[in-house]
Chain A
Amino acid sequence: MSEIGFTPNEMMTIAASRALRNDDVCFVGIGAPSAACNVARLTHAPDITLIYESGTIGTAPNVLPLSIGDGELCETAVTTVAVPEMFRYWLQGGRISIGFLGAAQLDKFGNINTTVIGDYFHPKTRLPGGGGAPEIATSSKEIYITMAQTKRGMVEKIDFFTSFGHGEGGDHRHRLGIDTSGPTLLITDLAIWKPDPVTKEFTVVSLHPGVSRQQVQDSCGWVVKFAEALDETPAPSELELWTLRDLQARTKAAHEGTGKGKAA
């Protein structure tokens, strides 16, 4: 807890929520993206369309789902479609404005690894894999990424290309026939990053309150580039903090209660 009354993780979630607009159609990854998307919905973007890969379109959960297919998502959705329809009509069909992903390993061009640590065929650690991410990364109009900074997580070279960001940078997406924008925003617990317009390397554009350049560099595995005009991220408002904490408290109670709390 910092002395101004919020944690770096709270700052991360709230900064990520601010990036979402009321008219966005957002394909939501589980974990940090899910919290950010729902804080946006509960504050400045009440009409945002949140879509989870279980086929729930326009969902408004009262508690954060543990999985992408919790009953809460279906019960509060505008409609629920089959998984092939989700991926074919809605994602591949170009209906998603923002794909919001987390990452186990990330490089400076926004390429994500959630598949293996080590060699694919003889992995040191077998991670869950991509799920919907490989196509979310290429079919959504833009990709936002959110993760807490660590040297293990933000690396010079990822072990596996689970989902493609800007590849080797520059026009690599275009060369592969990918016509969507790819990663346009990275929100960490320390800073807000945007890709350089030409090289596509993530560059810090805003430091969260009280964070130094050195802290950002110390928890990142590549040499960090900073924008010339560096902003300071506005601290969370009372409403934002209250909304996030309330959501997390409800979620904790529901998940620990083996569903007992939900039945009431």
Chain B
Amino acid sequence: MVKFLPLRQAVAENLNDGDSVAFEGFTHLIPTAAAHEAIRQGFRDLTLIRMTPDLIYDQMIGMGMAKKIIFSYVGNPGVGLLRRARDSIENGFPRSIEVEEHSHAGMANAYEAGAAGLPCAVFRGYRGAGLATVNPNIKSVTCPFTGEVLAAVPSIRPDVTFIHAQKADKKGNVLVEGIIGIQKEAVLAAKRAVVTVEEVVDNFDDLHPNLTVLPRWTIAAISVVPGGSHPSYAHGYYARDNAAYLEWDEIAADREKFRAWMQANVIEKSADDFAARVEHLRKAA
């Protein structure tokens, strides 16, 4: 049953060295605070799963925490490349990592299959695509009814999934809205799920009946971290810090600059520092 915990404790209780872990959120609601807490606690040999590794995996890879990365777009969205991930893939710095690369359709289908308790996902994909020749986990199956050859990939079943969401009620049910991405599937596919939220409200009685709510019994722990998605955003709370994404390109371009930034902005900070980072991004009421 879900527990409300300080983020430090929620991460310590649910993440272990060597785990396969998904920190999901498709551009929106990226669980940055949880990723930074994992960095502070110094986990090693993680298999990092995320459709769009984004800044958080650039940071975790740059800190040498990943032994493998499973992804479908290793860029800084709208800006360019992820330079710490590049340094690791191209030069083995600070360590070499194993790469398992898919398309978005492949990853999305694999998460959905994981949530559905299936061993693999079947879809019409990867036709003529080079990934099918370099990723041994992309195979094909023949439809027993029509004979059509379809792509098959293993389902994604993380040891633990972290997501950020708008709000929880007092019982620990969680609401996600806006660009809902892959979060529901990533939570239901995982053995354990940890959610950071902007706030806790008394109840969800007034909500529209079809909103995306994750019942409390699907979640291991909830931590209240206002601003916990920055520089990503929380629909209805604060806007995406596009300038920070542009700045990251310069920070991550240099190994020393990166370490100094991580020391000052992650290692020496805590989850409590996120609220102030989004103050200027909050929408006028």
Contacts and interface: CB of A to CB of B under 8 A. Distances in A.
Contacts of B86: 125-126
Contacts of B238: 259
A247 to B, nearest CB: 15
Interface residues of A, number: 66
A19 to B, nearest CB: 23
Given A66-B77, A68-B77, A82 B244 contact: no
B148 to A, nearest CB: 7
Contacts of A46: none
Contact of B81 (A71, A126, A162, A255): A126
B71 interface: yes
A84 B75 CA distance: 20
A69 B77 contact: yes
A176 B150 CA distance: 11
B241 interface: yes
A262 B239 contact: yes
A5 interface: no
A259 B81 contact: no
B283 A263 contact: yes
A108 to B, nearest CB: 16
A18 to B, nearest CB: 24
B81 A127 contact: yes
A233 B105 CA distance: 36
B240 A67 contact: yes
Contacts of B123: 87-88, 92
Contacts of B181: 54-55, 69, 82-83
Given A127-B81, A131-B104, A163 B129 contact: yes
A70 interface: yes
B103 A55 contact: no
Please classify how large the interface on chain B is, using the bins under 10, 10 to 19, 20 to 34, 35 or more: 35 or more
B125 A84 contact: no
Scoring B105, B182, B235, B284 by chain A CB atoms within 10 A of each residue's CB, the highest score goes to B105
Contacts of B184: 82
B51 interface: yes
Contacts of A73: 179
A95 B78 CA distance: 25
Given A82-B182, A87-B109, A132-B104, A258 B128 contact: no
B52 interface: yes
B90 interface: yes
Nearest to B86: A126
A30 B129 contact: no
A176 B73 contact: no
Contact of B242 (A161, A162, A255): A255
Given A80-B178, A126-B85, A263-B283, A69 B104 contact: no
Contacts of A69: 26-28, 77, 179, 181
Contacts of B74: 126, 128-129
B282 A173 contact: no
B37 interface: no
8 contacts: A30-B77, A55-B181, A70-B240, A88-B105, A126-B90, A129-B74, A162-B129, A163-B128
Given A66-B78, A162-B129, 13 more contacts: A82-B182, A84-B109, A87-B104, A87-B105, A92-B125, A125-B86, A127-B81, A128-B73, A130-B73, A131-B103, A164-B129, A257-B243, A258-B244
Interface of B: 26-28, 51-52, 71-75, 77-82, 85-86, 89-90, 101, 103-105, 108-109, 111-112, 123-131, 134, 148-149, 178-182, 184-185, 212, 233, 235, 238-246, 280-284
